[in-house]
Each structure stands twice: as structure tokens, then as C-alpha cells.
Amino acid sequence: MSNINRSREPQPVRFCSNCGERITKKGKFCVYCGHRLEEQRAEEAPPAPEVVRESAPLELADPTYKIMDPGDKFRDYTIVKLLNKDTTGIKYITQKGDREYLLKLYFTGSAATVNYLPNLKWLNNLESPHLTWVEEVNQGSTPPFMAASYVRGSSLAKIKKDNPERLTEALVLSIAKQLTKTAKTLHDKGFTIKDLTLSGIMLKDDGNIVILTSGINYTDVDERQDVFTIGVILAQLLSGNVLYATLYGPERLLEQKFTYIPGVSMAFNKVLSECLHRNILQRYNSLDALKHGLKSLPLEPKGPVYTPKPVKHVPADENALEVLNIKTRVEWWFWLLLGVILLLLVLLLSTNFLAVVSGKKEEPLHFTNIFATEDSTEAEADEILLNRNRLNSADTLRGTRRTPGATHREDPRKKIGDRYSDYTPSSYTPVRRGSPIPANFVYVEGGTFGFNRLKENLNHNVSQVGFYISSVEVTQAEWNKYMMPASVNRMGDRYPVDNVSWMNIIRYCNRRSQEEGLEPCYRISGSTADKVSCDFSANGYRLPTEAEWEFAAKGKSLTIYSGSDDPDKVAWYRDNSGGRTKAGAGKAPNDIGIYDMSGNVSEWCWDWYDAKYPSILTTFVNPKGPDKGSFKVVRGGNITNGEGVGLRLLTREKGKPDRGYPSVGFRLVRKGSRSDRG
């Protein structure tokens, strides 16, 4: 029987089985995602997990994961060292026999255990020298795990940092060809490298690359997304700027036009520009097209190299300044011509000059319109009668006009004053400025509710004023009217826009408000989210606060999902969407007429994210979230979430405001009352 190591009994480290974050020993709920943990009775507290040093398998409990030490064994794998931990699981470097393996233990409920692990074994069937060998995949064990061959060498990220001169244009071209060929092989089997970075590619001494399994996903994406990812990797490898990760990062390249890389051949820069076009329709239409473009490049760089144009400076020597002197004297004939033109304009506008010159009327030259004459007729009075609105306008002249040298007369309008004595300026209807409330907006009546509470706590703690909110998520047609098209999950005017950053949504709200004659809500004084402030009294479009979002999602009932306890009735999610977003209003609304508050795409909110919020709430009337933070709140769940925590109405997520995320969109809010609809 195996020897059991009982030399020490360390305090167990607990991690949430849903999000992977570290949690307290006695906690009942995860403070990061709200997941309910398995309760442990005090009188029946389970003993610490026993660590087996030899051949007995180590079974990890579902709600708590104990970090294993070097020398511990998991099934046939001996732990060498802990590599890292992320939101999906824990990674170790292990040894089995005389070979080293990367062992990853997945958290129960992770999306990878449903979509990714079952298909990971397919990588071995591809027989590609640029992919790691997957030794074992066990989706049904507790916990689920995967073991792949451990690749020794240097990642491209490490080479870029420590030895950038090694990355010549010829070597990068070789890497590009290998990467494109492997990406095409993966795409044909349903895999994608859309999330691949420099850290996920190892370069061996013989010049061949190996793509790690961490950079491969099993999901259906457009080939042009993989083309873009390859372009980002190549641009970062070729750039000599220390800020290469920012200048050629995916977020920036989706917003700003790609600029050629200095020191790189024009031909290679041309290929990169075809990969990194902001509009997905203007990129290489397939990986085969990119492969053909790379094949056309010479193995060794030839032809012109891109060099930025130098800035031109104005010469400072005296001789040059004499050449630049401009003749400023104006000839006398110019003033004469200008005077004649002005005189003709005065004659045309203030006299019957044209009638006298043409001879159509036998009358002397005299002033008209501007100056009154003594021969005013009753036609003037008739004209005033027909244009009654002029009588009370602000610019109506009152009394008599006096012209030097002319005979004064009584204002003919005084003769008809009695006929319109009942007309007053109050009967004049002003023009309403601004856009009416759109037809697809729903009014949410103000009231009180339990913020981040459902049936387990019926006490109300927040008061919220009424507002209008869009009944469906903002569509691609609405977004493309004011912004560049986004790299969306599913293209089409009726489908919700996703993969857009919080900062770009703020710009969209202001542009749409201005175009519709509304007062913009946001003041943007910089390029980061902390430089954005909101005027909640403005009548323009804006994102909902987290309190407004939850108040609207709950409607008049307390259900697990927005509108029902059954997700199939109200939500598109992992089990019924096929991984594709759907057009709005495809499921039943909640009880106040709002669709897709649960599922389809998650939704950005105005508030900064704080894991302790709203328990640290200090404002209980129309709360607007914490004063500062690093992430913004995302609510609602999406097509990647399964039935349960990720899709629940109270689930809170977070995102960096300068990044777009797949399957994360938004909906709009406008201030107002129910009477504003009319």
C-alpha cells in the first residue's frame, strides 16, 4: 500500500468551481461571480485531502482545489512544479516515465470542458509538426483534465523581449508560412487561432514553430479573423518600436488604419495591410489567399524598404526669406473695381435700376423696398392681411418709418389693427427640437427594488427613477450608421452588434445624440475610461447604470432569468443557440416587454466594477456605481454560457473598457417620463 505523507497539515486553499478565483475557507458564495458553494456542517467538517506520493490517483473535490506540491502524483503523472492558474483551471509541469507533459486540471463548469476538451484529441489526427501532441484527455473524471507534451524552447514573446535582433524579415516570413499553413489545417477541422499571441508560439532551434494548445479554440469563426490574428503576430515581430504591443495590438488596429512598419520591405508591408484592414470585408478572404500572398514574397528581402518621409522645415537663412516675401502692395485699379461692384450691388438691391435700363417701364429711377415713398397703396395693407403671422413677430416695426428727405405717412397696418385684435403671440406654436423616443424603447416605471437580490431576500434597498430603455440590443445596422463595422459573431443588419469596446460605445452614444438633435450625455476629456463623465440630466442616449439594468431586467417579478425560471423560454444560450447570436426578440420578453436581458449577447453597463458591490453601496437613490476602477460591469450572460450561474440574472461580469469582447454588446437608455412618448 502506498505511503501517505502526513508530516504537515496545511490550511486548504479553496477556489471557486465556476470562475476559478480564490475564496475564503468558510464562504458560502463566491464574491467574484456569486456562485453558491457546497455547504459543510461544522460538526462534520471533512478532513484535509490526503496527498498520495506514489501510484494512487489524487481525486480533487469539486468545490475546493488543493494546490499540489512537487513530488505529488495525479494518476500516472508526477508533479514537477506549478506552472500557472487561470479562470478555467490549474496547469502543472509533470513527468510520466522519461517524458515531460503539461497537465491542466479544469474547474467543473468551465466552458472548455464542454466545447474544447471533447475535440482536443482531434489535434493528434492532424499529424502536424507544428502542433503539440495531446497525450490524454479525460472529460468525465473529477476534475476533468488534459495532458499534452511539454515543449521546451523559447516562445516568440521571450525572443522578442530578450533577443529581438534574431527576428529578421526572412525568419518572420518563414514563421508566417508555417503559421498560415497550420491555421488552415486547424480551421478545416473546426479549430481557430483567433486568440493566439506571441506567448502561445514556441520557436525551436531548427527554425520550426510549435503552437501550444492554450492558443487554440474550438469554435466556428470567419477565416478572415484568423488572417487578422496572423497579421497582428507578424506586425509585432517585425516592429522595432518598444511600444510594438500597443501600436500593433488588435484593439488599436481595429480602430485605426494600419501604418507601414519602418525598415520592412514594401512588399511585406503590403501583405500585412491586406491582413489588418479594419473592415473585415477588405482583408484577404481566406487563409489560402494569405498563403498565396506570402508565397509571392522573396525568401530574402528585396526591393524598396519603407522609410517614413522626413518632416520639411522652413529655411531660416536670409536669402531664402527674401524668396518667400510676398508682394503686399495693392494697385489703384483694384480699389476702383471694388467700388464699382459695390455701387452696382446697391443699385440692384435698393432701386428700380433694372426696369429703367431695360425700358420695360417708363418711370424715373427711384428707391424701392428699403425706403418708403408717399405713394403707398392699399395693396400693402392687403398683403399684411394675408400674412397675419407677421403682425406680432419680434422684428415687426411699430409706428412710422422716417426717411430723410421723404414725406412721412401713417403706417397702413394701423388701419387693420382692430380686425386682428384677438391675435396674440401665445397662439404661436414653437418648433420642438430633438428626436422623439424611438418606438422600440420601453418605459420602466420608477420604484424600489432589492439590488442584487432575488427571492432569498425580499427587502428593497434601492430607489430608482423611471426611464426609457431599448427593448432589444443595439443592432449592427444601428451601429454601422455611425461607427466602423465591428468584427461580429454573426454578420447581418438584424443581429446584435458585439465585440465593441466600452469606449467606442460612449463615442457612438454621443454621435447618435448629436445627429438626432439631442444633448449628448458624455463628456470625453481623454482616451481612457477615467476621462469620461456622464450628465444624467441630458436627454441623449447613454448606457444604463447597473441598477437601471437590473431594475429593467427584473420587471415586475423575481425570476432566475429575466422573465422566467426556464431559460429556454426567454434566453438564447449555449444549449439552444448553436454558438451563434440571434436577431432580437426571438424569445419571449419579460413582463414589461424587454427582450434578451438574459442570453444572446452580454451587455455593457456604465458602472465601474467592484467585486464587493453592491454590498458597499453608499447611495440608495439612483445609484451610479463606484467612483473609480479598472474594469466596467457586464451583465446578462450570452450564447457561451450554459444554464446556471453564468446566465443567471444576478451574475456580474467585468471587462476592460478599451477592449471589445466576442458576444458582448449593449442596449441604450434615455431619460424621460411616460408623457414624453406623446
> 29-55 pLDDT, tens per residue?
776 666 666 654 333 344 444 444 443
Inter-residue contact 441 to 468 (CB < 8 Å): yes
pLDDT number for residue 2: 39
Per-residue pLDDT band at 392 (split at 50, 70, 90)? very low
What is the phi/psi pair of residue 343, to 5°? Answer: -65, -45
Express each pLDDT in 343-374 by its tens digit.
888 888 877 777 777 665 556 676 664 444 43
Grid cell in block for residue 118: 471533447
Cβ neighbours of residue 190 under 8 Å, at least 6 residues apart?
Answer: 119, 218, 219, 220
Tell me the mean pLDDT in the region 578-596. Answer: 96
Strand partners, 62: none
| DSSP labels, 444-462 | E--EEE-TT--TT-----E
Q: Find the helix or strand (DSSP H, E) in which 234 lies.
A: helix 223-238
Query: DSSP alpha helices (H): ranges in 452-540?
Result: 476-480, 502-515
What is the share, in percent, of the chain residues with pLDDT greater than 90?
A: 45
| Separation in Å, CA 641 to CA 495, 523, 644, 645 | 19, 34, 8, 8
Strands 217-218 and 441-444: unpaired
Round to whole Å and give the CA distance between 391 and 397.
Answer: 9
Tell me the mean pLDDT in the region 563-575. Answer: 95
Task: Label residue 199 left, alpha or beta by phi (over 0 means left) and psi (-120 to 50 means alpha).
Answer: alpha
Tell me the mean pLDDT in the region 512-538. Answer: 96
Query: DSSP alpha helices (H): ranges in 296-331?
Result: 318-324
Strand partners, 192: 217
Q: Which of 606, 433, 624, 632 lies closest to 522 in space, CA to CA?
A: 606
Residue 375 has pLDDT above 90, yes or no: no
pLDDT number for residue 17: 64
Q: Which of 245, 294, 252, 280 lies closest to 486 in space, CA to CA?
A: 280
Other Cβ atoms within 10 Å of 110 Cβ, number: 21
More confident residue, 618 or 569: 569
Strand partners, 147: 103, 136
Round to whole Å and give the CA distance between 167 and 177.
Answer: 15
Tell me the mean pLDDT in the region 533-537. Answer: 96
| Cα diameter, the chain | 132
Q: Which of 585, 588, 599, 583 lies closest to 663 in space, CA to CA?
A: 599
Please report the domains of the chain, with CATH numbers, ordered by start residue.
14-149 (3.30.200.20), 154-295 (1.10.510.10), 337-369 (no CATH), 371-422 (no CATH), 441-677 (3.90.1580.10)
Inter-residue contact 487 to 664 (CB < 8 Å): no
pLDDT number for residue 363: 62
Round to whole Å and give the CA distance between 399 and 421.
Answer: 17
Express each pLDDT in 201-241 by its tens digit.
989 888 889 888 878 887 788 899 999 999 999 999 999 88
pLDDT number for residue 554: 96
pLDDT number for residue 413: 38
Round to whole Å and give the CA distance between 316 and 323.
Answer: 11
Q: Which of 603, 320, 621 lies closest to 464 in space, CA to CA?
A: 621
Residue 654 has pLDDT above 50, yes or no: yes
Q: Which of 172, 168, 173, 171 lies closest to 297 in space, CA to CA?
A: 173
Strands 467-470 and 99-106: unpaired
Q: HSE-up of 360 (CA within 13 Å, CB side)? A: 5
Tell me the mean pLDDT in the region 296-303. Answer: 86
Q: Which of 288, 192, 175 lies closest to 233 in space, CA to CA?
A: 175
| Separation in Å, CA 295 to CA 181, 187, 206, 268, 550 | 11, 20, 21, 11, 54
Cβ neighbours of residue 526 under 8 Å, at least 6 residues apart?
Answer: 532
Express each pLDDT in 77-116 by its tens digit.
999 988 888 777 888 889 988 888 888 888 876 656 656 6
| Separation in Å, CA 138 to CA 81, 104, 116, 389, 471 | 21, 11, 12, 84, 43
